[in-house]
Chain A
Amino acid sequence: MPVFHTKTIESILEPVAQQVSRLVILHEEAEDGNAMPDLEQPVKVVSNAVQNLIKVGKETINGSGDEILRQDMPTALIRVEKSSKLLEEASAMLKQDPYSGPARKKLIDGSGGILQATSALLLCFDESEVRKIIQECKRVLDYLAVAEVIETMEELVQFLRDLSPCLSKVTREVSAREKELTHQVHAEILVRCLEQVKTLAPILICSMKIYIHIIMQGGKGAEEAAENRNYLARRMSDEINEIIRVLQLTSYDEDQSE
């Protein structure tokens, strides 16, 4: 049984995966099998659904600026279409001979193929969505890198104006993503990192304020204040980098590393 790494993909494909597995088992146990019913109508419904997916898939490809999606999605669409053709062939063969063994094989290959190709397609789409979140995370990293050169209150205000909306977006999107993951360990890491980021953000801003006050008064301790600020910025960057790493993981990666 395939493992789906988001709850959305799981909810779409898990029921059909179970049905396909059952069909394979029934086929093996029944050996020569019973006469198959006329499958023309349900196969037609699948073919129409596949044509619609191909249309929507092509629109998604054309409307996306994501090069990886543009490269990977057509392959999945071709696989869905090929599997649909297998079902049409199986249906035609079964009309001639309801006991046909090769037709049953095509039926199993076709339905299994549709399941796998749809899974690949949804994964491709999902990975593209993850790349959008990662892009936002990288924007936060870019802003954090600027923290070291902020030396006036005006610059700090601008820094906050830039960072805040971006950080809010990352928080919102990573939080939603965490709820979507079927892999509990990955979800927990994201929650932990996000909590750290939320805790560190106001402390970092405070440390930047302290640094600015110290250098404005020309007082002692500027070096220590800068060190403290840099440490906090680095800690936040580390947490964001960990979020990026975990966002890219799938259950499959984890199983392989184990």
Chain B
Amino acid sequence: EMILEAAKTIAAATSALVKAASAAQRELI
């Protein structure tokens, strides 16, 4: 259960990071 929670947190954090990185690129297209 703890593993699942920890994986959820990583997924959310990675998602937020990738979104931030994508936003800059998206402006170009």
Contact = CB atoms under 8 A, between A and B. Distances in A.
Interface of A: 8, 12-13, 15-16, 19-20, 22-23, 26-27, 29-30, 33-37, 39, 42-43, 45-46, 48-50, 52-53, 56-57, 59-60, 80, 87, 107, 111, 114-115, 118, 121-122, 125
Please report whether the interface of chain B is mostly helix, strand, loop or mixed according to DSSP: helix
Contacts of A36: 21, 24
A229 to B, nearest CB: 42
Interface residues on B, range: 20 to 34
Interface in B1-29: 2-29
Given A12-B7, A118-B10, A45 B25 contact: no
B24 A19 contact: no
Given A12-B4, A30-B29, A56-B3, A22 B10 contact: no
Interface of B: 2-29
Please report whether the interface of chain A is mostly helix, strand, loop or mixed according to DSSP: helix
B18 to A, nearest CB: 4
B6 A57 contact: yes
Contacts of A16: 11-12, 14-15, 18
Given A16-B14, A19-B18, A118-B11, A60 B25 contact: no
A143 B14 CA distance: 48
13 contacts: A15-B15, A16-B12, A19-B14, A26-B26, A33-B24, A37-B20, A52-B9, A53-B9, A56-B6, A57-B6, A111-B17, A118-B11, A121-B3
Nearest to A119: B7
B5 to A, nearest CB: 8
A23 B15 contact: no
Contacts of A52: 6, 9
